């Protein structure tokens, strides 16, 4: 008992003497002369020590809002409307002038009074026999009865409540938290003791120099008491993962590529040998900009080479796509559908090789939003330019990357992508699900892409991997949409990316 008394915090000591005379939080705040947060903190600590039991409840309280107060003084709009036509029918304009009701109040009044069969609408608005009998409006009586708790409303009042809730700032409903507490048998026993408030909480220079500590007791610390959770500031969990992926590529000797989210169709499609009639370039797959909707094409020499590659492929002894290439289509602005457009720009400016580059950033597809598809997601891209590079090297880079992410087994399957040949799809083995999961595409860029950009045909290894799908298992996320929900509780509690 003595140890417990010596461990009481100063806030607990201020609150404890008043607990026998009240069990209301509001009264306890008044008597202790503490702030609400201080009293709540003291009650929590006392509950942890089993000195009190605390009961928390929540009530829905209806109270009058700004316009409700005005209408209690002036009268409800429908009541004033009815008063205006009490002696003779009037036009709506005449009623508005007489009552000073605004257009919204006028419309509400007509709707309310028609429901009550209180008015007749013709060229002029007149009062009915039912209207003449209306002395007290139930809505007005309801306002006068506030504040009220929602659970105590009867059926007729619920209908009035719903109707008034739909009207602007007549009433408001607040969740009010109530805290009640009772002394336990231990608490009652402790209350009998005189509490020593002359205790030292912590040492400081003044106490040490004055030797004041010699004549006082130190408060005993309770190391078993519950401490509040602390949520440190941190990056969004998806950004933590992206930062780690960026570090992987940098450690492997890659340089980062960056560029705008908005690209011309030339860089997003044409330079990558994607035909202008390919379905991926239609509205159902790609986000096109309305304004501005076009941009000038780059260097004429490069544009000419891309045009020739599409029309006949003569530069690399290919047939091309055998159509007339339209520069206006290439000028259209889009939200980039992949980060390969950055690879294309990098290749067009490259002077020396071998070289290795990567990017990580947002891309956009006109997808139907569901648990497994997003219209905005993160992709990591990589290219290796080396005259001696081959498919085995490509698979090696992918294996190294995925092993650092936590996937030890990968496999590749033949896949089709317009700008690579050969093309492969990359799967990783999921150890928990016991199955293979597709996480991206890769391949060696086609000569039709490389030659216009580099001037000669040399191997360029390329891959694009979906970052969101890579990281969801680490965070135990079942729905891709959860990556972008601003749920502060989830963001606080999500574990830090540690690899």
What is the tens place of the pLDDT at every residue in 108-118? 889 888 988 99
317 and 169 both lie in a single domain: no
Q: Which DSSP category does 203 fall into? A: -
Of all residues in the chain, the percent with pLDDT exceeding 90 is 38
263 and 378 both lie in a single domain: yes
82 and 123 both lie in a single domain: yes
pLDDT digits (tens, 9 = 90+) for 262-282: 999 999 999 999 999 988 888
Tokens coding 200: 């030292």
Compute how many other C-beta atoms are within 10 angstroms of the C-beta atom of residue 290: 6
356 and 474 both lie in a single domain: yes
296 and 380 both lie in a single domain: yes
Assigned domain for 231 exists: no
Is 386 a residue whose pLDDT tops 90?
yes
Tell me how long the chain is. Answer: 499
Q: Which residues pair with 217 in a beta bridge?
A: 199
Name the residue range of residue 196's domain: 2-59+176-218
Backbone angles phi, psi at 35, to 5 degrees: -75, 155
pLDDT the model gives residue 288: 93
Is 422 a residue whose pLDDT tops 90?
yes
Distance CA 324, CA 311 (A): 6
Q: What is the pTM of this model?
A: 0.60
Q: Give the full edge-to-edge strand order of the sheet including 255-256.
A: 255-256, 355-364, 376-385, 460-466, 435-445, 420-430, 410-414
pLDDT the model gives residue 369: 79
CATH classification at residue 30: 1.10.10.10
130 and 274 both lie in a single domain: no
252 and 126 both lie in a single domain: no
Range of lowest pLDDT (281-285, 320-324, 455-459): 281-285
246 and 161 both lie in a single domain: no
Tokens coding 423: 């093309």
Q: Which residues pair with 199 in a beta bridge?
A: 217
187 and 54 both lie in a single domain: yes
């Amino acid at each position: 008992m003595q140890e417990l008394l010596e461990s009481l915090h100063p806030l607990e000591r201020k609150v404890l003497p008043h607990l026998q005379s009240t069990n209301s939080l509001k009264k306890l705040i008044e008597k202790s002369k503490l702030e609400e947060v201080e009293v709540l903190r003291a009650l929590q600590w006392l509950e942890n020590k089993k000195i009190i039991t605390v009961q928390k409840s929540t009530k829905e309280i209806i109270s009058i809002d700004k316009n409700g107060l005005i209408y209690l003084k002036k009268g409800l709009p429908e009541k004033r409307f009815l008063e205006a036509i009490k002696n003779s029918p009037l036009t709506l304009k005449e009623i508005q002038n007489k009552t000073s009701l605004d257009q919204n109040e006028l419309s509400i009044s007509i709707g309310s009074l028609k429901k009550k069969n209180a008015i007749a609408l013709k060229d002029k608005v007149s009062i009915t026999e039912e209207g003449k009998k209306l002395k007290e409006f139930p809505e007005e009586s309801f306002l006068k009865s506030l504040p009220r708790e929602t659970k105590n409303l009867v059926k007729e009042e619920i209908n009035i409540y719903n109707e008034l809730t739909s009207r602007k700032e007549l009433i408001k409903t607040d969740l009010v938290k109530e805290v009640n507490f009772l002394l336990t048998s231990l608490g009652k026993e402790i209350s009998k003791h005189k509490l020593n408030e002359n205790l030292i909480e912590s040492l400081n220079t003044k106490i040490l120099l004055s030797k004041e500590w010699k004549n006082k007791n130190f408060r005993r610390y309770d190391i078993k008491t519950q401490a509040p959770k602390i949520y440190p500031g941190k990056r969004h969990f998806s950004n933590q993962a992206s930062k780690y992926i960026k570090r992987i590529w940098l450690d492997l000797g890659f340089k980062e590529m960056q560029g705008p989210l908005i690209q011309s169709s030339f860089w997003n499609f044409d330079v990558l040998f994607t035909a202008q009639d390919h379905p991926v370039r239609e509205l159902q797959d790609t986000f096109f900009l309305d304004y501005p909707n076009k941009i000038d094409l780059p260097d004429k020499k490069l544009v000419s080479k891309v045009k020739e590659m599409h029309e006949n492929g003569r530069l690399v002894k290919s047939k091309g796509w055998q159509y007339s290439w339209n520069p206006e289509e290439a000028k259209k602005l889009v939200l980039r559908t992949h980060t390969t457009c950055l690879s294309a720009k990098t290749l067009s400016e490259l002077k020396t090789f071998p070289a290795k580059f990567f990017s990580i950033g947002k891309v956009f597809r006109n997808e139907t939003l569901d648990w497994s598809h997003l219209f905005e997601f993160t992709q990591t891209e990589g290219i290796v330019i080396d005259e001696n590079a081959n498919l085995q090297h490509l698979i090696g880079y992918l294996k190294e990357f995925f092993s650092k992410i936590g996937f030890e087994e990968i496999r590749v399957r033949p896949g089709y992508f317009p700008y690579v040949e050969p093309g492969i799809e990359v799967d990783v083995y999921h150890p928990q699900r016991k199955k293979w999961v597709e996480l991206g595409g890769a391949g060696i860029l086609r000569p039709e892409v490389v030659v216009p950009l580099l001037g000669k045909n040399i191997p360029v290894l390329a891959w694009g991997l979906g970052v969101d799908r890579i990281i969801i298992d680490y965070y135990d996320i079942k729905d891709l949409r959860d990556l972008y929900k601003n749920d502060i509780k989830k963001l606080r509690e999500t574990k830090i990316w540690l690899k």
